[in-house]
Structure 1
């Protein structure tokens, strides 16, 4: 039988749809790895190639984040009109399975690797169930090596993405990760990860760990870094800003080849940080912390949430000044987005402040709620101004043109974001 995995495209005129550098869906390659050999498996990523609706696949499996859900539903309708069975998983379907079931034949809730073989067996017997939900979390030693051959011939920046941990010990109000993976921090055996890295370095010396917090367990991460030292990787991942407070730990990451980290600063206002549950962040030490990353050869892709209740129109200029003073190599400025399943959505719903559930606008670029400290238009215009200003040529020059090993990653990233923002403006 034939299986087609589909990753829906992002809408044109949106930042993530206009970015020239693309990364593959690791979750689909992981599901492919637990698919029986009797199935012929293919992948279509609409972000880099057109989707053939006349595919001869027996089953179409779609994954989608919330802003991709409308396109996922359109794809599902087109295939079902052609007599195909369609299943859906991912963050959005897991949080709103009843909504998804209005558009597809079955929904996989949560981590799919445990139940995926059962779903395929049920389909072959003609007994497909409506919802598949694992009774227990996947044992981390059972995470298979992703079938990255599905990515061959596609225009991805690189395909060396992998996961070492799942879950996060923290519970930030706006985060959908905890709702999906839970707060229990689970770790793959280090030897398994190192063995997979040995396979990956035959293809590319760059790697990206998709873990939401690679360094939450110090002992585990230090063991991983020790094993990676000397492998020759240049790699990136996610870490909290307080990672900088442990200089030995930070140095070990740098020596293992880390050239960049996604870091959630979220706000310069300590009261706002407390309100959102960002307990690891101390705003007064941000400048020193950023320098500590840089001293170890690690650049920063910072993230700052816009539209918190403490924010006023003054926040935008203040953030730009801080980012340039801290010489952050790159940054994103997501508008607070009340994703299904998050605590912030529950709170804003209770306060009657959600003004849109048009999922395609849940892309962190559009205001979907009523802010407290400014108007909807002020928040939207401030977001647009901050992105244009941060990725202007003068700001880029001040932040990234310096002798630092992370420039090889972050200089192209800055130009990529700048081009995407400009294309987005033309489409709009």
Structure 2
């Protein structure tokens, strides 16, 4: 090597990715423990999110990348000396993420944060981090690595313009140890951005109002690389009733997935097509389950309100039957505590589930998450009770509701779980979730 040449060689970097632990939303509800043990609903561990696997995939192979999955109890080694610690998290993980970051920084290690919560509250996150990535990481990750190497890490990184999902790499899911997650499935990303401002969703703020689609060929490449045949498309935007852009994309994807022996979970609201042939096409494409969130979109809010008309009620029941008749399992996720609900909402939910034949459901307390219209309104009205983010997991009352007391909301939430699952066959509860049933709790 010629004299001075060593100064031209890039310094090797060592990264430590950390996924912080969080409290499941039924933890702490002792009266529901027998139900959880019997049915496992609310207790199974979801497949890991895509943020850290995408970072691992974006990182050049000459950089050492290691993961600590704090959520399954892997120990955090604070004595390690990585060049950068990266934490990605959502609100129920925030307290734990901040504690981890504070300890690393106390020992002189640089920390960067990203994900939904830091993107929505960057100034709060910067109290515990050297840097925050706001929004999508893909456009700025190379810059973050270069600045880490140069010792010039910026306080904030924000992408300029929209990221082309055709460039999205296949997530490096292998960084998570699969045997520790009870649902043998993967999460798959199909879109980013959403033009619909549902009251409880931060996606428009984080990803923009324009829907961007991942090319179907890239989706198939990702699916073919997975060890499991079951996966969950995490974007409910693919089920929005927009015939001009969304419907052609979804039908193209279903044509590509048909005949591959797949089991696909789709997510939606009640804003779906009332067309039996549409659901038969989804079934032919491999769709096995429809996870449907009630509480944030205008149709489900009307359905659960005291002013719901007989036609609206019957239309909702007919839609559930239409999906089930196509051979797709309907999974209802019912939110309670919104300002337009009264104490009668709990019985209305049970009645709707009974009349429509829903046999798989979960129930959650609406939570004023940062970056959502609901959260912004409750913040402005000074109705948020505390910032103990451990309890911001949709299983606790963290704000003052309007249509009922805090005690009535919590009691109604517990009543829903007990009343709905009373008499249900535990061997059928999660029948479309591969790997979950018969696992010890």
TM-score by length of 1: 0.87
Q: Specify which of 229, 254, 257 is matched with residue 228 of structure 1.
A: 257
Residue aligning to 1:28: 52
Residue aligning to 2:204: 178
Distance change (3 Å), C-alpha of 1:275 and 1:356 = farther
Distance change (3 Å), C-alpha of 1:237 and 1:292 = same
Q: Distance in 1 between matches of 2:255 and 2:348?
A: 39
Residue aligning to 2:80: 55
Cα deviation for residue 240 of structure 1 reads 3.0
Cα deviation for residue 263 of structure 1 reads 0.8
TM-score by length of 2: 0.84
Correspondence 1:350-361 to 2 at 5 A: 350-361=380-391
Distance change (3 Å), C-alpha of 1:11 and 1:240 = closer
Residue aligning to 1:164: 190
Q: Is the 8 A contact 2:21 2:71 kept in 1?
A: yes
Q: Distance in 1 between matches of 2:248 and 2:300?
A: 31
Residue aligning to 2:432: 409
Distance change (3 Å), C-alpha of 1:262 and 1:282 = farther
Q: Is the 8 A contact 1:190 1:223 kept in 2?
A: yes
Residue aligning to 2:5: none
Residue aligning to 2:21: 9
Q: Is the 8 A contact 1:267 1:273 kept in 2?
A: no
Residue aligning to 1:102: 127
Distance change (3 Å), C-alpha of 1:411 and 1:141 = closer
Correspondence 1:307-326 to 2 at 5 A: 307-326=337-356
Cα deviation for residue 116 of structure 1 reads 1.1
Residue aligning to 1:426: none
Runs of 5+ consecutive residues of structure 1 not aligned to the other structure? 421-428
Cα deviation for residue 158 of structure 1 reads 2.8
Q: Is the 8 A contact 1:174 1:342 kept in 2?
A: yes
Q: Specify which of 112, 123, 137 is matched with residue 87 of structure 1.
A: 112
Residue-by-residue CA offset, 1:368-387 (whole Å, 9 max, x unaligned): 22212211111111112212
Q: Specify which of 125, 148, 158 is matched with residue 133 of structure 1.
A: 158
Distance change (3 Å), C-alpha of 1:145 and 1:271 = closer
Q: Is the 8 A contact 1:244 1:293 kept in 2?
A: no
What number of residue pairs does the alignment pair up? 405
Distance change (3 Å), C-alpha of 1:364 and 1:151 = same
Q: Specify which of 371, 375, 395 is matched with residue 401 of structure 2.
A: 371
1:249 matches 2:278: yes
SS in 2 for 1:194: helix
